[in-house]
Structure 1
Amino acid sequence: MPTPKRSLDLDLSRPSSGRIYDYWLGGTNNYAVDREFAEKQLALAPEIREAVRENRAFLRRAVRHAAEEGIRQFVDIGSGLPTQGSVHETADEVAPGESRVVYVDNEPVAHAHSQILLEDTADPERHRALAGDFFDGPELWERIVGEGIDPRRPICLLTVALLHLLPSEREPERTLEFYRERLAPGSLLVLSHACVDTGDERAKEAFEEISDNYRSRTAVQGSNGLRDRAAIAEFFDDFDLLDPGLVWLPQWRPDDTFVGDPARTRAVAGVARKPGR
């Protein structure tokens, strides 16, 4: 029997990362407080809107690749608000009726809309939405397994545009290590992360100001998660990075729709496989 859903209070006095992201994507599941904050961040870094769209496109390409490799279990932590091309939709395009997806988010609107979205699918029992937090670790993993994810079989674990939002003081690398250790050999870790090239002081200052604004206006406390490419690569630990490695978002197995300098997305992405299969 699935674990009872954890209730979360909806706070409309603060902007929400999930609703802000939805606004940047052109969605409608956001409020005035989110739109006001989002526009201020766009004034600092106009490339944000393009970056979030490229991030979503990367997620779809990575999920499609995992499904084509035969993986049928997907866990998306920090899934945000549902939008076109969600994980379960993309996986089912490759293997209709075979995939199982668990979405996890600690934002009430994101969680509620995920539940509504999944109720409208042809087979709602295959996909689940959990109210939970990345840092819940063992408790969250137990609930994920309780929703029908089999840890003995390969899983595609997604932490997309998540880790740079988490306070460094809480050491997200340790929590991610916990999840990596529980994945079966052959599993994939899909990750994207904000990244600023060394020497790009304008972008670095903009990211730091955005992070300061975000922490002051939301419930997240702690230092920002700005990391260079080498530090981001450490999240994969001993997993084997798939070609083309850790690259700018549009460079990961591109579909040739992106035009221009991929570095302007200010985010890198990679997919890595757990060895031993």
Structure 2
Amino acid sequence: MAGAETAGWTPPDIDLSRPNAARMYDFFLGGAHNFDADRRAALAVLEVAPQVRDAAWANRRFLRRAVQYALDQGIRQFLDLGSGIPTRGNVHDIVQVAHPDGRVLYVDADPVVVKHAQVLLNDVGGAEVIEADLRDPAGILGHDLTRRLIDFREPVTVLLVSVLHFVSGAVDELAAVLDELMRPAAPGSLLVISHASPTTTTDATETVTELYARTPTPLHLRSAHDIRALFGNLDLITPDPQLAQPAGLVPVDAWRPDPTEQQQLPASANSPFLAGFLAGVGRNPRPAAADTAATAGSAANTPGTPLRPRNDARFPDRQRARTGAPVAARR
């Protein structure tokens, strides 16, 4: 059946008989960029945990609010890592409605995602996609399209929305990768993360975890403490300026909530999948030191400038990712 569904943009060597987390997510959002194996797996998830669809929509709306917050801060360029299938209302749609000169670079390790995104973005100015493992910051920062599209001398928003819980690795290793990605970014740059965390264990949560374990992208849930550590020394943004609360992580539906959306979803307290889906936004406070600015300028704008060599020893499966097996998948 997968073969009958294969579209012209699907790489011929991809096994579409195995479900993929990004295409399952697309199905949860009502998209059309999924195959029979993805739909069957997604329906199996919804059979035991229908709240997962609510969590997907809540995360999607968090993405919109986070991008709008960045736009309100004057940021016009976005690096979307683990972007997944470009569905309706994705980052470039939000950005370019408000600012036609805005720039968005999508990054994903799944060749199906990348090929499809290339087709969808063919006639879209200021938006590109590259195939890369998000745990390879040197490869991302040194890519020709990154250098051409993103100017790290100006603030940039780095998005990792619903992707890191599909990425293996120790917290300190992932934090080092994110620090490397944010290091050349100008002061005022933002790091946006949403990440699933363990909640009260139920039959439904155990079954969902088991179902994702059958895909190429099993779940790697992390505690709130570990998710906070991924932001390193960045200053967390207050999640709700209307409340007297310290800056920190909150469920995705509670970060800068939009009153018009609150009636469309159940409260996070009523669903372990929403309550454990945490979000935060960190701001780069570092001053623009001369050497940092020079590095950022060459990395983003000077083709052929070498960056630090890739360190595959930190992540043994990074090489596997570059040969086509998806490591990170999401929206």
**Partners of 2:210 and 2:93 in 1: CA distance:** 35
Shift of 1:220: 4.1
- C-alpha offsets along residues 107-159 of structure 1, whole Å, 9 cap, x if unaligned? 233212222222233xx2x1101111112221122115333211221110000
Whether the 8 Å contact between 2:21 and 2:217 is mirrored in structure 1 is no
Could you tell me which amino acid in structure 1 is paired with residue 223 of structure 2?
A: D
Alignment of 1:55 onto 2:59: yes
Whether the 8 Å contact between 1:75 and 1:102 is mirrored in structure 2 is yes
* RMSD between aligned residues: 2.1
**Partners of 2:96 and 2:64 in 1: CA distance:** 12
**Partners of 1:253 and 1:247 in 2: CA distance:** 10
Structure 2 counterpart of 1:157: 158
Alignment of 1:102 onto 2:112: no
Whether the 8 Å contact between 2:228 and 2:249 is mirrored in structure 1 is yes
Could you tell me which amino acid in structure 2 is paired with residue 189 of structure 1?
A: L
Q: 1:214 aligns with which of 212, 229, 232?
A: 212
**Partners of 1:258 and 1:120 in 2: CA distance:** 35
Could you tell me which amino acid in structure 1 is paired with residue 267 of structure 2?
A: D
**Partners of 1:50 and 1:196 in 2: CA distance:** 17
Shift of 1:175: 1.9
SS at match of 2:135: helix
Q: Which runs of 5+ in 2 are unaligned?
A: 1-10, 240-247, 288-331
Structure 1 counterpart of 2:278: 268
**Partners of 2:234 and 2:13 in 1: CA distance:** 37
Whether the 8 Å contact between 1:128 and 1:147 is mirrored in structure 2 is no
Could you tell me which amino acid in structure 2 is paired with residue 40 of structure 1?
A: A
Could you tell me which amino acid in structure 2 is paired with residue 157 of structure 1?
A: V
Whether the 8 Å contact between 2:105 and 2:146 is mirrored in structure 1 is no
**Partners of 1:107 and 1:162 in 2: CA distance:** 12
1:123-134 paired onto structure 2 within 5 Å: 124=125, 126-134=126-134
- C-alpha offsets along residues 170-221 of structure 1, whole Å, 9 cap, x if unaligned? 9433322221223221100011011234xx122xx64454334323x33347
Structure 2 counterpart of 1:236: 231
How many pairs were matched up? 260
SS at match of 2:262: coil
Structure 1 counterpart of 2:43: 39
Q: TM-score with structure 1 length normalisation?
A: 0.86
**Partners of 1:72 and 1:9 in 2: CA distance:** 37
1:128-207 paired onto structure 2 within 5 Å: 128-143=128-143, 145-168=146-169, 171-197=173-199, 200-202=200-202, 206-207=204-205
Percent identity between matched residues is: 40
Moved more, 233-242 or 206-215: 206-215
Q: 1:113 aligns with which of 107, 110, 116?
A: 116
Report which structure shows greater RCO (CA 8 Å, sep ≥6): 2
- C-alpha offsets along residues 61-87 of structure 1, whole Å, 9 cap, x if unaligned? 111110111111100001011112111
CA change 1:184–1:8 in 2 (3 A) is: farther
Q: Of the two, which has the highest radius of gyration?
A: 2
Q: Which runs of 5+ in 1 are unaligned?
A: 1-6
SS at match of 2:121: helix
Could you tell me which amino acid in structure 2 is paired with residue 159 of structure 1?
A: L
1:7-26 paired onto structure 2 within 5 Å: 9-26=13-30
Shift of 1:56: 0.7
Q: TM-score with structure 2 length normalisation?
A: 0.73
Could you tell me which amino acid in structure 2 is paired with residue 271 of structure 1?
A: V
Could you tell me which amino acid in structure 2 is paired with residue 214 of structure 1?
A: Y
CA change 1:9–1:103 in 2 (3 A) is: farther
Structure 2 counterpart of 1:65: 69
SS at match of 1:164: helix
**Partners of 1:50 and 1:70 in 2: CA distance:** 31
Shift of 1:88: 0.9
Could you tell me which amino acid in structure 2 is paired with residue 127 of structure 1?
A: A
